[in-house]
Amino acid sequence: MKPFTTLTAPAAPLPIANLDTDQIIPKQFLATVERTGLAKGLFYDLRFDEEGREKPDCPLNQSAFADAQILIAGANFGCGSSREHAPWALADFGIRALIAPSFADIFYNNCFNNGLLPIVLPQGAVDELMAEAKGANHVFVVDLAKQIVSAPSGKTFNFDIDPGRKRKLLEGLDDIGLSLKREEDIARFEDLRRIGAAWRR
């Protein structure tokens, strides 16, 4: 997993509350266990009409946000079913950080396991960032070590994050990677267990 340290990138505004996982990645794109190729289905019904043509009013279809790696969204983002394809699709599209007033619990947890940083900020702060994202300058800075989001105007917003999750993102570790850092300890435990329970052989 790619470490997340400091991200300097454009942010796209998506001011819609209660965007569920079926809207993030509709069910017709779930027939895969691969983490790549899902970007085409991300927010499909928001980005495309019934004939597959891009909707020009969707920010993710606009050239100003073509390189967006940060998504500023409405409250309760990622609600609905617990499909892990949702963070996979966001990551495949190039999104690395999400900012919202709140996230659904399962989606929030899935983000950390897939290298995405979900940032919870008060509604007022999100509204300010949303307004700046819609402006002429869309480049924001997310500093995970300092736990700060810097807007194009220079205004900064502090965010909270669990220390364990912060460490995993900074080091680019998922749960398996974190376990493998203790590989020698695990091997030692297995050896002792094997000796102590020789009668089970």
- As a CATH number, domain 6-175 is 3.20.19.10
Indicate if the pLDDT at residue 180 is higher than 70: no
Residues contacting 140, CB < 8 A, separation 6+: 8, 9, 10, 11, 70, 129, 132, 133, 149, 150, 151, 152
Indicate if the pLDDT at residue 105 is higher than 60: yes
| Alpha helices by DSSP H, the chain | 21-24, 44-47, 85-93, 105-113, 123-133, 163-171, 175-180, 183-196
Residues contacting 36, CB < 8 A, separation 6+: 92
Q: Given this model, what pLDDT does residue 198 score? A: 56
Confidence class for position 87, pLDDT limits 50, 70, 90: very high
pTM score, two decimals? 0.87
Indicate if the pLDDT at residue 145 is higher than 80: yes
CB 147 within 8 A of CB 97: no
Q: State how far Cα 119 lies from the chain centre.
A: 9
Q: Provide, rounded to the nearest whole percent, the portion of the chain with pLDDT above 90.
A: 75
Mean pLDDT to the nearest integer, 184-188: 60
